[in-house]
Amino acid sequence: MDKLLDMKKVDASMLRRIGVAAAVIIAVVIVFQNIHSVDTRLLFITISMPHAIWSILLFAAGFLAGWLTKRQRVKSAEEEAEWTEEPQ
């Protein structure tokens, strides 16, 4: 009976892998359904590219911004911890 309970336990890394796999499958479906070309205007420039590429670029920019922001928060938290430590 204990072995059955152990087999039902799913650790966080397994859930993370399942989530990443589901996100990748959904992203691939979305990319392949949006292969038509779109025109994007930015001030005086007009860029024409497939919608899928535009979506991938925006996703990458958002991921990079989130990663840099998180990294900055971790650094500032570490610096704050150094300043608040009492000297011995």
Sorted by where each begins, the domain ranges of the chain are 2-82
CB-based contact 53:45 (threshold 8 Å) = no
Residue 25, both tokens: 């499958």
Sign of CA dihedral 78, 79, 82, 83: negative
Quick: pLDDT tens for 16-66: 888 889 988 988 888 788 888 989 898 899 989 988 888 888 888 988 988
- Name the residue among 30, 29, 27, 55 with its Cα closest to residue 40: 55
Confidence bin at 82 (pLDDT 50/70/90):
low
pLDDT at 5: 47
Q: Which residue has the higher pLDDT, 13 or 36?
A: 36
Residue 46 amino acid letter: T
Backbone angles phi, psi at 11, to 5 degrees: -80, 170
Read off the pLDDT band of 79 (50, 70, 90): low
Q: Is the pLDDT of residue 74 over 80?
A: no
Name 37's bridge partners: 50
| Adjacent-strand bridge partners of 44 | none
Q: What's the pLDDT at 42?
A: 84
Give Cα 87 distance to the centre of its chain: 39
